[in-house]
């Protein structure tokens, strides 16, 4: 008995954790099943109607002489008669179609709820992180605060391999973006230009996405950068640290003072 209860509990947990996926699979299977059942119902309905028309024609011709057969028209099967004859054939595809629509709607709602929950959690974490950084800056100012930023930046670089894959040309240095964990070639001029152009975009339109900033920096957008950004309440501010890469090359590490948020469009 305990084994059955454990199996039932695991099944319930699996269903709850994968509800969106299961509903999506149900929607796909339901679409295919509805199409198959509708095709079969249509074929069967056509057979029934043809047989009914033939039966009525035979009955109409049964009471006439051979000379009158050319003048006898078959009785027409009306729409009402067709619905009565073949209506039950379409019940299965209607039921599966309804269930499929319900599965798709429920999957969409659950996805929207999860996205809203993740956005709320991200916003709370970002707010707590900002409060923590503000409090640290209150307690530690000047060289001490910069030393902590430099140490954190060095730790992130140490934990992110790949600097050896970036070829540094004359006039550019190795750079590391802490938010996305990417190395690239650049200079203080290109970094400041990207920040200034992003803030100009915010000034002109009240907001700018993180992908806009990375585009000006010469980096490809990411899934994360497409969803977050800044607005006029919190424009782009960065902190710069000088660290050493894995192969002991000087490296500029870039971090945001205020992380971009998911509600940057509606939040301004």
Q: Do both 110 and 7 map to the same domain?
A: yes
Identify whether the C-beta of residue 44 lies closer than 8 Å to the C-beta of residue 52. Answer: no
Q: Return d(Cα 209, Cα 188) in angstroms, integer.
A: 21
In a domain, 67, yes or no: yes
In a domain, 186, yes or no: yes
Which band of pLDDT confidence, cut at 50, 70 and 90, is reported for residue 267?
low
Q: Do both 152 and 108 map to the same domain?
A: no
Identify whether the C-beta of residue 176 lies closer than 8 Å to the C-beta of residue 157. Answer: yes
More confident residue, 220 or 265: 220
- Our measurement of the distance from residue 73's CA atom to the centroid of its chain's CA atoms, rounded to an integer in Å, reads 61
Q: Do both 111 and 174 map to the same domain?
A: no
| Burial tier of 211 (Cβ tally within 10 Å: 0-12, 13-18, 19+) | buried
Q: Is the pLDDT of residue 268 over 60?
A: no
Of 4-8, 230-234, 252-256, give the lowest mean pLDDT range: 4-8
In a domain, 134, yes or no: no
Q: Do both 16 and 96 map to the same domain?
A: yes
- DSSP summary character for residue 73: P
* pLDDT (tens digit per residue) in 11-47: 666 666 667 777 788 788 888 888 888 888 888 888 8
- DSSP summary character for residue 32: H
- Cβ-defined contacts of 192-196 (< 8 Å, 24+): 195/236, 195/237, 195/238
In a domain, 261, yes or no: no
Q: Is the pLDDT of residue 196 over 70?
A: yes
Residue where a domain stops, chosen among 115, 133, 162: 115
Tell which residue, 220, 210, 217, has the closest CA to residue 252.
Answer: 217
Q: Return d(Cα 219, Cα 206) in angstroms, integer.
A: 23
| pLDDT at res. 75 | 56
Q: Do both 107 and 154 map to the same domain?
A: no
Q: Return d(Cα 153, Cα 261) in angstroms, integer.
A: 21
Q: Do both 251 and 146 map to the same domain?
A: yes
- What's this model's pTM, rounded to 2 decimal places? 0.51
Q: Do both 159 and 195 map to the same domain?
A: yes
At residue 252, the 3 state secondary structure works out as: strand
Within 8 A by CB and 6+ apart from 211, the residues are 221, 222, 225, 226, 229
41: part of which helix (H) or strand (E)?
Answer: helix 19-62
Q: Do both 107 and 161 map to the same domain?
A: no
Q: Do both 98 and 187 map to the same domain?
A: no
Half-sphere exposure (Cβ direction) of 263: Cα atoms closer than 13 Å: 16
Q: Is the pLDDT of residue 95 over 80?
A: yes
Which band of pLDDT confidence, cut at 50, 70 and 90, is reported for residue 116?
low
Phi, psi (deg, nearest 5) at residue 45: -65, -40
Q: Do both 156 and 237 map to the same domain?
A: yes
| pLDDT at res. 220 | 92
| pLDDT at res. 265 | 81
In a domain, 192, yes or no: yes
Identify whether the C-beta of residue 239 lies closer than 8 Å to the C-beta of residue 257. Answer: yes
| pLDDT at res. 154 | 77
| pLDDT at res. 140 | 66
* pLDDT (tens digit per residue) in 127-172: 656 666 666 666 666 666 667 777 776 777 777 776 655 555 556 8
Phi, psi (deg, nearest 5) at residue 182: -120, 140
The mean predicted confidence, pLDDT, of the chain is 78
Of 191-195, 253-257, 262-266, give the lowest mean pLDDT range: 262-266
Radius of gyration of the chain (CA): 34
Residue where a domain stops, chosen among 51, 80, 115: 115
In a domain, 127, yes or no: no
Among residues of the chain, what percentage have pLDDT more than 70?
A: 68
Q: Do both 145 and 57 map to the same domain?
A: no
Q: Which two tokens stand for residue 266?
A: 């509606």
Which band of pLDDT confidence, cut at 50, 70 and 90, is reported for residue 111?
confident
Task: Give the count of domains, the chain.
Answer: 2
In a domain, 90, yes or no: yes
* pLDDT (tens digit per residue) in 59-72: 766 666 666 555 55
In a domain, 136, yes or no: no
Q: Do both 145 and 252 map to the same domain?
A: yes
Domain that holds residue 8: 2-115
- DSSP summary character for residue 234: B
């Amino acid at each position: 008995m305990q084994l059955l209860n454990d199996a039932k509990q695991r099944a319930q947990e699996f269903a709850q954790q994968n509800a969106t996926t299961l509903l999506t699979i149900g929607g796909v299977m339901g679409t295919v099943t509805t199409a198959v059942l509708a095709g079969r119902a249509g074929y069967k309905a056509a057979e029934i109607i043809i047989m009914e028309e033939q039966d009525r024609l035979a009955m109409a011709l049964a009471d006439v002489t051979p000379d009158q057969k050319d003048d006898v028209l078959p009785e027409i099967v009306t729409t009402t008669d067709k619905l009565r004859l073949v209506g039950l054939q379409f019940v299965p595809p209607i039921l599966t179609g309804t269930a499929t629509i319900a599965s798709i709607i429920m999957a969409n709602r659950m996805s929207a709820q999860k996205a809203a929950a993740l956005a709320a959690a991200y916003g709370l974490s970002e707010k707590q992180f900002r409060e923590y950084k503000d409090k640290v800056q209150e307690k530690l100012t000047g060289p001490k605060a910069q030393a902590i930023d430099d140490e954190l930046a060095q730790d992130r670089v140490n934990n992110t391999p790949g600097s050896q894959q970036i070829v540094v040309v004359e006039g550019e240095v190795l750079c590391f973006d802490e938010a996305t964990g990417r190395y690239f070639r650049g200079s203080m001029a290109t970094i400041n230009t990207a920040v200034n152009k992003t803030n100009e975009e915010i000034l002109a339109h009240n907001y700018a996405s993180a992908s806009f900033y990375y585009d000006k920096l010469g980096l490809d957008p990411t899934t994360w950068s497409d969803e977050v950004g800044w607005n006029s309440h919190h424009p782009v501010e960065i902190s710069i640290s000088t660290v050493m890469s894995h192969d002991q090359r000087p490296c500029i590490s870039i971090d945001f003072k205020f992380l971009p948020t998911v509600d940057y469009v509606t939040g301004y």
